[in-house]
Amino acid sequence: MKKFTSIAGWLSLASGFAALFFYIVLPDLKTLILSLTALSISNGVFLLVSEGTSLKKFFSSRMAQHGTNAIILTSVFLGVLIFTNLLIHRHKHRFDFTQAKLFTLAPQTKKFIANLPREVNLTAFFQIETPEKNAFENLIAGYLEETDKIGITYLDPDKNPAVTKQYGVTTYGTIVLESGSKETKIQNATEENLTNALLKVTRDEQKVIYFLEGHGENQIDSTENEGHRTAKKNLEQDGFIVKPLLLLQTGEVPEDASTLVIAGPKKPIQKEEQKALNSYLGKGGAVMMLVDPKSKHGMEAFLKNWGVELGDNIVIDPMSKLFGGDFAAPVVNQYSAHDITSEFVLPTIFPIIQSVKAIPSSKIETIELLKTSANSWGESNFESGAVKFDADTDLKGPVSVAVVATKLLRPEEDAHDENEEPQEHKIKQPKATLVVIGDSDFSNNRYSNFSGNGDFFLNTVSWLAEEENLISIRPKEKRNSPIHLTSSWGSAIFVLGILIFPGIVAGTGIRIWWRRRGS
């Protein structure tokens, strides 16, 4: 009988642990779990009936009482831990002990997200357990702590190709933000970029971007390769309203225009139109002009007045072959320091582009934004069919292909008294901004999705519309703060941590054991 009761006891214990294991790991196997539970209970009952007297005698012993007390204390301790964990789970709060407060959101971010007007859904496309994903999780945790209006979903692009294609995601680490009918994407998930993206998709005010028409420009509703339908769609996803503009009909640029885009004019822009453009810039307007080589736009004199000179050439870059491109399609992967290209790392491809040079001026600030490689040159005699650098006639690289011109405009409020002391709330000085690029094809439907083409176009329009820096947050830098210990302090820490403290604990335990043994 003793043999069977021993087997029943061990069988009850084993089947009970097995039932618990399957309940946690495979809860769908309900039949197996119930069977193991029943087996454990039945064997346990058999053990109690068969060895009831022995068990009663055992639990009455001093050893059993000590064991029972230990079990009770352990259960109380585990209960306190579970209760504390539940409190922490329901009342989340993070403590940032880093010197630079790397995991603490800026005050302006906290103020904004605490008053989000509506819910925002984030879809983060990361590979499983990458350092980039962990960094983003640490960042978004601060946002989730401040508001319950942000929802987050993580997707692995490799395991979810259909959803990835649906969102048009081509790069790991892309974050898609959706709120209502608005949508935008970010790739470099810094606090500044994420906060600005949240502001974009929740902002009710929409700025208007006009595209000039009437001179053979690329149409914004055309689905042909040369059209700008993709650019229009991307701008609308960023919260802009996109409209066409026939300047000969309106006579002036509308007052609600945040930016005017002139994308590849092939026919002359009339003097009346140029006068209207000049007037628009003079009022603090912003213009983005994409000018193809050999196009008959008639804007050369206009652009020179704004500090920009077109090269009337075609840029040849042998290095483009390394990127799988063509000699006449330069690849730009190094950018001048500017808000448009800040943290922009993707190369930009320009099929058939001319040089654009900045003209130094005391009234207009000009920056040559994009330059091709040192091996490139501006070919002036491209009609002969022989492509070869000629030091006498060609422009030696690096060749500038994009220029930003900025002119500060004196406010009328300041014109009446130059000696007037500055006020506490000074009126922001208006400025005219003009960006000229020697090619329009890079942003059309055919090339917009190539590498960084579409992003560069959107960055430029956003900067011109003064939407590139809605909230300026200085990035936090990790500081290296090593602890410098003298040899004396090192020896003291070693002796205390390795010898004295462990020795005290071990000695106390041995003393208690010896006293109990003696009693």
Rounded to an integer, what is the distance from CA 119 to the centroid of its chain? Answer: 19
Give the whole-number percent of the chain exceeding pLDDT 90.
33
Do residues 169 and 162 make contact, with C-beta atoms less than 8 angstroms apart? Answer: no
Q: According to the model, what pLDDT value does residue 422 have?
A: 46
Count the Cβ atoms, other than its own, within 10 Å of residue 456.
26
Strands 314-316 and 331-332: unpaired
With 60 as the cut, is the pLDDT of residue 417 above it?
Answer: no
Alpha carbons 314 and 292: distance in angstroms, whole number = 10
Strand, coil or helix: what is 121?
Answer: strand
DSSP letter (8 states) at residue 414: G
The string of DSSP codes covering 204-265 is ----EEEEEESSSPPPTT--STT--HHHHHHHHHTT-EEEEEEHHHHSS--TTEEEEEEE--
Sign of CA dihedral 408, 412, 416, 420: negative
Alpha carbons 219 and 239: distance in angstroms, whole number = 20
Q: Which two tokens stand for residue 334?
A: 């190094």
Do residues 178 and 123 make contact, with C-beta atoms less than 8 angstroms apart? Answer: yes
List, as own/partner pairs, every contact residues 92-99 make where C-beta atoms lie below 8 angstroms and the sequence separation is at least 24, other chains included: 92/145, 93/145, 94/141, 94/142, 94/145, 99/479, 99/481
With 60 as the cut, is the pLDDT of residue 354 above it?
Answer: yes
Do residues 55 and 46 make contact, with C-beta atoms less than 8 angstroms apart? Answer: no
Do residues 176 and 169 make contact, with C-beta atoms less than 8 angstroms apart? Answer: yes
Instruction: Judge residue 436's burial from the number of C-beta atoms within 10 Å of its C-beta, 0-12 exposed, 13-18 middle, 19 or more buried.
Output: buried
- Confidence class of residue 100 from pLDDT cuts 50, 70 and 90? low
Q: According to the model, what pLDDT value does residue 102 have?
A: 63
pLDDT per residue as tens digits for the range 255-314: 999 999 999 999 999 999 999 999 999 999 999 999 999 899 999 999 999 999 998 889
**Position 79, amino acid:** G
Alpha carbons 462 and 486: distance in angstroms, whole number = 55
Cis, bond preceding 398 (omega within 30 deg of 0): yes
Instruction: Provide the whole-model pTM.
Output: 0.59
Measured over all CA atoms, what is the biggest interatomic distance in the chain, rounded to whole angstroms?
A: 113
- Confidence class of residue 346 from pLDDT cuts 50, 70 and 90? confident
DSSP letter (8 states) at residue 73: H
Q: According to the model, what pLDDT value does residue 472 have?
A: 43
Strand, coil or helix: what is 131?
Answer: helix
Q: According to the model, what pLDDT value does residue 364 have?
A: 93
Using DSSP, how many helices (H) and how many strands (E) does the chain show? 15, 18
Alpha carbons 500 and 477: distance in angstroms, whole number = 39
- Fold topology of 112-204: Glutaredoxin (3.40.30)
Question: CA nearest 330: which of 441, 459, 225?
Answer: 441
Query: Could you give the residue range(s) of every CATH 3.40.30.10 domain in the chain?
Result: 112-204
Do residues 340 and 328 make contact, with C-beta atoms less than 8 angstroms apart? Answer: no
Which has the minimum average pLDDT: 91-95, 255-259, 374-378, 446-450? 91-95
Q: Which two tokens stand for residue 486?
A: 């003298």
- Per the prediction, the chain carries an average pLDDT of 82
Question: CA nearest 240: which of 227, 228, 258?
Answer: 258
* Inter-helix orientation angle 52-59/62-90, to 10°: 80
Rounded to an integer, what is the distance from CA 239 to the centroid of its chain? Answer: 17
Question: CA nearest 462: which of 264, 254, 288, 281?
Answer: 288
Alpha carbons 332 and 400: distance in angstroms, whole number = 10
The string of DSSP codes covering 316-376 is E-GGGGGGT--TTS-EE--B-SSSTTTT--S-EE-SS---EEEPP-SSSEEEEEEE--TT-
Count the Cβ atoms, other than its own, within 10 Å of residue 183.
19
CATH code of the region 207-409+430-464 = 3.40.50
For residues 238 and 150, the model is more confident at 150
Query: Could you give the residue range(s) of every CATH 3.40.50 domain in the chain?
Result: 207-409+430-464
List, as own/partner pairs, every contact residues 269-276 make where C-beta atoms lie below 8 angstroms and the sequence separation is at least 24, other chains included: 269/215, 269/297, 269/298, 269/299, 272/248, 273/247, 273/248, 274/299, 274/302, 276/247, 276/251, 276/252
Give the highest mean pLDDT range of 72-76, 201-205, 502-506: 502-506
